[in-house]
Amino acid sequence: MQRRTFLKLIGSAGLGAALPAATAKAAGNKAFTGYPDAMGVLFDATKCIGCRKCEAACNEVNELPKPEKPFDDLSVMNAKRRTDAKTYTVVNKFVPVDGRPPVFAKTQCNHCQEPACASACFVKAFTKTPEGAVVYDASVCVGCRYCMVACPFSVPAYEYDEPLTPRVMKCTMCHPRILEGKLPGCVEICPKQALLFGKRSDLIKTAWERIGNEPGRYLPHVYGEKEMGGTNWLYISGAPFQQIGMREDLGNTPAPELTSGALAAVPVVVGLWPVLLTGIYAVSKRKDRVAKEEREAAVAEAVTAAKEKAAAKLADELKKAEAAGKRLADAEARKAVEAYKQELEEKAKAAAAAADESGDESADEKKE
Amino acid sequence: MSHSTQTNKGGMSPLMVVGGIFLLLGLWLTFQRFYGGLGAVTNLDDNNPWGIWIGFDLLCGVALAAGGYTTSAACYIFGMKRFHGAVRPAILTAFLGYALVVFALHYDVGRPWRLPYPIFVSPGTTSLLFEVGLCVFLYLTVLFIEYSPVALEWLGQKRLRNAVHKLTLVLTIFGVVLSTLHQSSLGALFLIAPSKLHPLWYSSYLPLFFFVSSMFAGMSMVIFEGTISHKNFHDKMDEDHLSASENVVLGFAKASCVVMCGYLALKLFGLAMDDNWHYLGTGWGAWFLFELLGFVALPALLYGIGAREKNVKLIRWTAALSVLGIVLNRFNISLVAFNYHLPASERYFPSWQEIGISIFVVTVGVFAFRFIVTRMPIFYEHPDYKESHH
Amino acid sequence: MEPFMRKKTVALLCSVFIAAVAVAGLVGPEAAGGSQGAAPAGTGRSDLILIDALSALAPLEEAKVAFLHDKHTEALAKGKDWAQKGCLTCHPQEKDGTMGLAFKKPVGADKAAARDVFHDGCISCHKSMAAAGEKTGPTGAACRDCHKKDPGVADARQDVVVDRNLHYRHVKAYEKDDKKCGVCHHRWDEKAGKTVPAVKETEVPGACAYCHLDKPVVQKGVKPEIIRSGRQAAHGECVSCHYKRATEPGSKIESPYTCGGCHDAASQAKAAEKSKKAAAEAGDAVRMKRGQPDAALVAGSVPFKAGAKNLPIGVVPFNHKAHEGKVATCQACHHGSLDSCSASCHTVAGSKKGGWVTLEQAFHKRDAERSCVGCHAKAQQAPGCVGCHGIMNNGKSLEGKSACAPCHKAVDGPLPAGIEEAPARQAMAAALLKARTAPAALTDDDIPEKVTIKVISDKYEPSEFPHRKIVRAMLERIKDDPMASAFHNGQYTVCASCHHNSPAAKYPPSCASCHAAADTGAKAGRPALKAAYHGQCMGCHTKMGIEGKVYSSAPGAKAVPANTQCEGCHKVRAGQAVKQ
């Protein structure tokens, strides 16, 4: 009965715990290559002039709070900035080669094909839409900020100053606008079309065409084509990405794959541990029982031996006493013999009790 | 019952006064936290979303509360009955530890009233944090049930107590399973950020490292907690507990020594697997070696010596060192080696308010522990249930 | 165990641990610091020699020693032995009495002996100088005194190029010498079994680098068995001659012989200035005479045959003389030898000797430095050209026949008799070059004065584009460039840089006929109108380096608007607050 309850409990726990491994998509030999018609944006660093119009447009269409310095103040680009709770996108200025013109790089959510934030979120607040955008649902967010830890591009920001309803803030690729058939705000405003909107697959083709047509102008690398399993925001540049504030050491492994091994271990633990532990318990209990039985047998043997010995002695003594009794007065003799017999019996009892006590340590199990 | 009388009759000990101040301070900071938001009291920012409330309160809290599952597993599953007297303090420490972890999380997360969401509203099953959350939730329940006989004995609920007591083995096994899962997944939380954690600390074995280290963390904490309890609650302890505590110190020292050696081997294996040897020559390498040699290898040796020479005092000091080592390891992973690539100006250092809240949480724990052990049968057996063991 | 013994064990273990941490701490920073070897700017030297002679024998165990040659020369020149020994203080004397380039003696095959050459040679000298109380280098107390990972100086050595101006100065200096060219140039004399001076111009085998390669050439069974590397030959010949000339009693010649004298950027600039002046006075005499023609027909895959008709790609007349003036040495084009390119290297199908570069590629490969097209493409990167040539597909020429026409001239009728012989070909080339006419100049009538662009006039007023002013400025820049006049061969060719992808004509199609008004993303395949305009204007300004700068020399000229300065081209429309 106990064991059955136990197995049932473990079974249900195992089912619950096995779920994540089933959805992690890591096992099996299928690679997730993204939604086929997902849209994206190609950023061409050789075209960007650093006018911050995209920042202004982003601020406007997302109805974000006005920044301290206006968007036409280009001096803010002298310091490196990152996205924050009031800014979905920033353009940073870099001077990869001293004396050459600066290169600008735009930062915003890269909309990974297999987003780390979505994989990390324990309330499914992030969704990778078929349109390509990774969108966030504040209505379930607990505010654990694991998405921020997980994001390899350090994009999501948090409303730390919001006491009651803090949200994670990040670019949405203007998902609502895309659904309306409009371009993302930043893309629409860009005077140089340094941001090109389109199907991710088309953008990759365009990117490689540009690289192929003008090899001296671009480095042969489309950032985001493979990084972290691929992103829907893509970049091409003439300067090494490392020199324009983008990490080139992220690898090509999609984030969910990094944790799939650990998640896959869950059913193993849930399935094997109880069996193993019950086994250990049974073995240790059996060991105790065997030891106890052996002890009990030994004690019983000792007791019997003692009893036999006592009985033999008693008989012997009795014989002697009887012989003596013949010489003694009847009443006197009987009394003395009785007393002696009692004494011997007590001795035997004590010996048996001592033996019992020594073998009694495992008494606990009896109660289990 | 002579046991349940207060230890220090009349007046307040200086420790109580300090504790009281901490509690008041904590309440003030609590108000600030929920009135002004996280930004008002923490140094957290967009690059450093996790501070000491995760690094200390969650990671260290859970690791150090591992004494519950190690002790009960040793006693009930591995049949080491000589540890019996130590099970209850360990379970209590674990229960309070986990309760405090959950309590502290209310400060750290943005919308604490939604903490049940991952389990009941919108489970994000691909997240390791979901695994942590689910297991901590379940394990806290298990610990509560495991602990409940104590309270029931205190309250005199004999039949209920006996019914719960029958579940001991099942609960113990359940506890080990859940602990294995969430101790390891706390380490696995960082698997998703290989680009942010220094390669010396990042390893695909992180879950294994966390689980294995939680074993000696728990055992060291049991010894450490026992040391402090002995100083303060000696008069509450009965024969069974006192003899068990000596057994526990020696037995756990030996076990910790073995587990630490295994942990060391695993760490070296991790280094070899990722071929990270060359990092050892850097400043980060020196810090890594400092952690590994000073707070794992050294305590392992000292535990070994202590166990062989039956040097209880040495073991107790070693336990303190090991506990410190776990704190250092968890800090290294969550704070020091995390975001190692960022310039110094963008790195995180806790604000005094964050430290204040952490102290507040620990103080709450100490007071709760004190409240319970001075009233309930933790260090001694309730006279009514003596026969149930012997 | 006694309690204090126990304590001892613990103390011992603790101290072992502390020691381990201390060692890690000490080793760590040094190991970490090893990679930060960059020397601070401005410390570059042209006399830096990294001594790695032993690397030929075995992998190096220590860091290479950074040796500053001129520093040593200067220091030793102050010594009393210098007057007698000179360079032979350190360098060995060869059998013929000249100075060897090795330090002390050439390195043999024995590693230990080779190492001792340097250790003894350097350290003993330093020691004896130190003993004499003189300022000197390390005396071997610690390996790291010399074997430093970071020498603290950067190599700023410039390669020496004997361009035709510098060559001319040498020619002039030895005009009356018996050996003439043979003062420097030599050739292998099979009969004599040795190198002999190449006295006459025609005896000179060509550029030094044709024989003296990057590494010494060792050939078995063929004489000479060893041909020195370019470096060895240059230092052996040039330096010893320069030294001799400069130190001769009563010498007035400033021939440089230190490292810095030839390899320093500043001394090179100074020498170049001097050479340029000398060459300017010389006129045509500056040409290196190797029997080259002034004009020639480039030999292609089709042999020249009298009477041949309808040559598929015409003939290419080449102005050799004009090109000589544009390059430093013959090697700019004739990089391997003065022989025909196609004879054995760049054959029509390509060959191993020619690195599989086919004849067609040798002339047309765009990213090659020495091909015709490659060299011209490089010239297009000049600020005056790159504005047009840098924005559309990196200035790739038009496709099709019109791209070939500037070089490949169609020949009317059959090739004349005697075309198989060089003089006839040269005459034909000269005639074709002479017949090349400049296209008619653009008149004001051809260039609209202003163009009004109304693409984003929802927020801004229409932009008034000073079309004629800009075209005139462009034409002004290239008016004296012979290459530009040779290649901009149509009247409207220059218009095509902006009005691209359609035949050059007086009335090109409007931009909007190809570029859509609205951005439709990647599927459009070309930029939308707004980006197209901005791409042309800003691209040109950026490429030419005139963005935000005053370009015109006219009084009161305004700066070319910076790319980010919208109001420079567009006035904000009244009542339209542009979101800032």
- Is A54 an interface residue toward C (CB < 8 Å)? no
What are the residues whose beta carbons fall under 8 Å from the beta carbon of B190, sequence distance 6 or more?
A149, B197, B202, B206, B333, B334, B338
Burial (Cβ within 10 Å: 0-12, 13-18, ≥19) of residue A292 = middle
Q: Choose between A3 and A355: higher pLDDT.
A: A355
Distance CA C520, CA A198 (A): 8
> What DSSP letter does each residue of C362-388 carry, written as one string?
HHH-TT-SSSHHHHHHHHTTSHHHHHH
Cβ proximity of B233 and B379 under 8 Å = yes
Whether residues C531 and A192 touch (CB distance < 8 A) is answered with yes
Lowest mean pLDDT among B122-131, B147-156, B204-213: B147-156
CA-CA distances (angstroms) from residue C344 to C219, C296, C349?
20, 20, 11
Residue of B nearest to C2 (CA): B309
Residue C115 to chain B, least CA–CA distance (Å): 30
Q: How far is C358 from chain B (nearest CA, A)?
A: 46
| Residue B255 pLDDT | 92
Locate C415 and state its tokens. 């090739």
Token pair listed for B126: 């691909």
| A333 Cα distance to chain centroid | 87
A10 in contact with B, Cβ within 8 Å: yes
| Sequence-ordered list of residues with C-beta below 8 angstroms from that of A283, at least 6 positions apart, any chain | none
Chain B environment of A157 (Cβ under 8 Å):
46
C 359-388 near A (Cβ less than 8 A): 367
d(CA A34, CA A40): 11
Span A218-235, average pLDDT: 95
Report d(CA B219, CA B251) in Å as an integer.
10
Which of A157, A166, A270 has its CB closest to that of B177? A270
Average pLDDT, chain B: 89
pLDDT digits over C25-47, tens only? 444 444 433 333 344 445 688 99
d(CA A153, CA A110): 8
User: Taking CA atoms, what residue in C is nearest to A191?
Assistant: C531
Q: Between C10, C14, C25, which is nearest B286 by CB?
A: C25
User: Phi and psi dihedrals of C409, rounded to 5?
Assistant: -95, 130
* Minimum Cα–Cα distance from A213: chain C residue: C393
Q: How far is B131 from chain A (nearest CA, A)?
A: 8
Give the CA radius of gyration of chain C.
Answer: 33
Q: Which residues contact A158 (CB under 8 A, 6 or more apart)?
A: A85, A143, A145, A148, A166, A167, A168, A169, B38, B44, B46, B49, B110
Q: Which of A183, A187, A216 sits opposite C394 (nearest CB)?
A: A216
Contact yes or no for C386/C474 (Cβ under 8 A): no
Q: pLDDT digits over C83-117, tens only? A: 888 888 889 888 877 788 888 888 888 888 888 88
Contact A191 C542 (CB under 8 A): no
Q: Is any Cβ of chain B less than 8 angstroms from the Cβ of C13?
A: yes
pLDDT at C18: 61
Q: Give per-residue pLDDT as tens, C248-274.
A: 888 888 899 999 999 999 999 999 999
Residues in chain B closer than 8 A to A275 (CB atoms): none
Contact A237, A219 (CB under 8 A): yes
Buried b (16+ CB within 10 A) or exposed e, B202-229: bbebbbbbbbbbbbbbbbbbbbbbbbeb
Predicted confidence band of residue B63 (pLDDT cuts 50, 70, 90):
very high
Do residues B206 and B188 make contact, with C-beta atoms less than 8 angstroms apart? yes
Q: Does C22 touch chain B (CB under 8 A)?
A: no
Q: How far apart are CA A146 and CA A158, in angstroms?
A: 11
What tokens appear for C141 in the block? Answer: 């107390």
Task: In whole angstroms, give the CA distance from residue C234 to residue C239.
Answer: 7
Q: Contacts of residue C22 in chain B, CB cutoff 8 Å?
A: none
Give ipTM to 2 decimals. 0.91
CA distance C7 to C13: 10
Helix (H, G, I), strand (E, B) or coil at C34: coil
Nearby residues of B208 by Cβ (< 8 Å), 6 or more positions away:
B184, B187, B266
Distance CA B359, CA B357 (A): 5
Contact with chain A for residue B131, Cβ under 8 A: yes
Average pLDDT, chain C: 84
Whether the Cβ atoms of residue B55 and residue B331 lie closer than 8 Å to each other: yes
Please state, in angstroms and rounded to a whole number, the distance separating the CA atoms of residues A234 and C513: 29
Calpha distance C192→B275 (Å, rounded): 63
> Which residue of chain C is at minimal alpha-carbon distance from A196?
C521
Of A98, A48, A88, A46, whose CA–CA distance to A65 is shortest? A88
Q: Which of C542, C564, C580 sits opposite A56 (nearest CB)?
A: C580
A364 touches chain B (CB under 8 A): yes
Residue of C nearest to B308 (CA): C1
In the block, residue with structure tokens 């700017």: C41
Other C-beta atoms lying within 10 Å of the C-beta of residue A131: 17
Q: Which residue of A has its CA nearest to C527?
A: A193
Q: Which amino acid, residue C193?
A: G
Query: Residue C14: pLDDT above 80?
Result: no
Nearest CA among B291, B225, B281, B238 for reference residue B92: B225
Mean pLDDT of all residues in C172-192: 90
pLDDT on residue A20: 40
pLDDT score of B6 more than 50: no
| pLDDT score of A65 more than 60 | yes
Q: B321-354, pLDDT tens digit by residue?
A: 999 999 999 999 999 999 999 999 999 999 999 9
Q: B12 pLDDT band (50/70/90 cuts)?
A: low
Cβ-Cβ contacts under 8 Å for C319 (sequence gap 6 or more): C294, C295, C433
- B53 in Cβ contact with B354 (< 8 Å): yes
Q: Does A149 sit within 8 Å of B37, measured CB to CB?
A: no
Task: Provide the token pair at B220.
Answer: 């060291």
Minimal Cβ distance to C523: which of A59, A72, A202: A202
Tokens 């290459």 belong to residue? C483
CB–CB of B191 and A262 under 8 A? yes
User: How would you classify the pairing of strands C451-453 and C463-465?
Assistant: antiparallel
Q: Nearest by CB to B133, which of A122, A256, A280?
A: A122
Q: How confident is the model at residue C320 (pLDDT cuts 50, 70, 90)?
A: very high
Asked if the Cβ–Cβ distance from A206 to C530 is below 8 Å, we say: no
Residues 152-211 of A with CB under 8 A from C: 183, 187-188, 190-193, 196-199, 202-203, 205-206
Integer Cα distance of C413 and C435 in angstroms? 16
Strands A39-44 and A233-236: parallel
> Distance between CA atoms of C13 and A365, rounded to whole angstroms?
44
Residue that wins the pLDDT comparison between C43 and C78? C78
pLDDT per residue as tens digits for the range C394-428? 555 555 667 788 899 888 888 988 898 999 999 99
* Mean per-residue pLDDT, A72-81: 92
Residue among C423, C198, C374, C168 at smallest CA distance from C274: C168
List C residues 520-559 in contact with B (Cβ-Cβ < 8 A): none
- Taking residues B8-33, what's their average pLDDT? 83
Q: Is the pLDDT of residue A357 over 60?
A: no
Amino acid at B8: N
Q: CA–CA separation, A112 vs A228, rounded Å?
A: 7
| A148 contacts chain B (CB < 8 A) | yes
Q: Which residues of A touch C528 (CB under 8 A)?
A: 193
User: How far apart are alpha carbons B339 and A154 in whole angstroms?
Assistant: 10
Residue B361's Cβ-count burial label (10 Å; 0-12, 13-18, 19+) is buried
Evaluate whether C396 touches C376 at the Cβ level (below 8 Å).
no
- E strand residue ranges, chain B: none
Q: Which residues in A lie closer than 8 A to residue C527 (C-beta atoms)?
A: 193
Mean per-residue pLDDT, C509-537: 90
Q: In this structure, what token pair is assigned to residue B6?
A: 């207060």
Q: What is the pLDDT of residue C294?
A: 93
What tokens appear for C160 in the block? 């020496």
- Give contacts of B 29-58 with A, CB under 8 A: 34-40, 42, 44-47, 49-50
Residue A5 pLDDT more than 80? no
Yes or no: say if C211 and C204 are a contact pair by the CB < 8 Å rule: no
Q: Which chain B residues in 302-321 lie under 8 Å from chain C, judged by CB atoms?
A: 302, 305, 309, 311, 314
CA A114 to the chain's CA centroid: 17
Compare A29 and B265 and report the one with higher pLDDT. B265
Residues A46 and A239: beta-carbon distance below 8 Å? no
Please give the Cα distance from A351 to A264 (Å, whole number).
60
Residue B161 pLDDT level (bands cut at 50, 70, 90): confident
Per the CB < 8 A criterion, the answer to whether C568 and C561 are in contact is: yes
| Residue of chain A with shortest Cα separation from C519 | A188
What's the whole-model pTM score?
Answer: 0.80
**Contact: A191, C531; criterion CB under 8 Å:** yes
Query: How far is residue C504 from each of residues C394, C397, C494, measured CA to CA in Å?
Result: 19, 13, 8
Which segment, A236-245, B85-94, B238-247, B275-284, is predicted with the most confidence on average? A236-245
Report which of A255, A5, A256 is spatially closest to residue A153, judged by C-alpha positions: A255
Q: Which amino acid is at B218?
A: G
Q: Which amino acid is at B10?
A: G
Chains that touch C (3 or more CB pairs under 8 A): A, B
C-alpha to C-alpha distance for A221 and A161, rounded to whole angstroms: 40
For residues A258 and C79, which has the higher predicted lDDT (pLDDT)? A258
Structure tokens at B322: 């090991």
Would you give the distance in Å from CA A215 to the centre of its chain? 44
Torsion of CA A268, A271, A276, A279, to 10 degrees: -170
- The encoded tokens of residue C323 equal 């090109």
Cβ within 8 Å, pair A19-B173: no
- Convert the pLDDT of each residue in C465-498 to its tens digit: 899 999 998 888 888 888 888 888 888 888 888 8
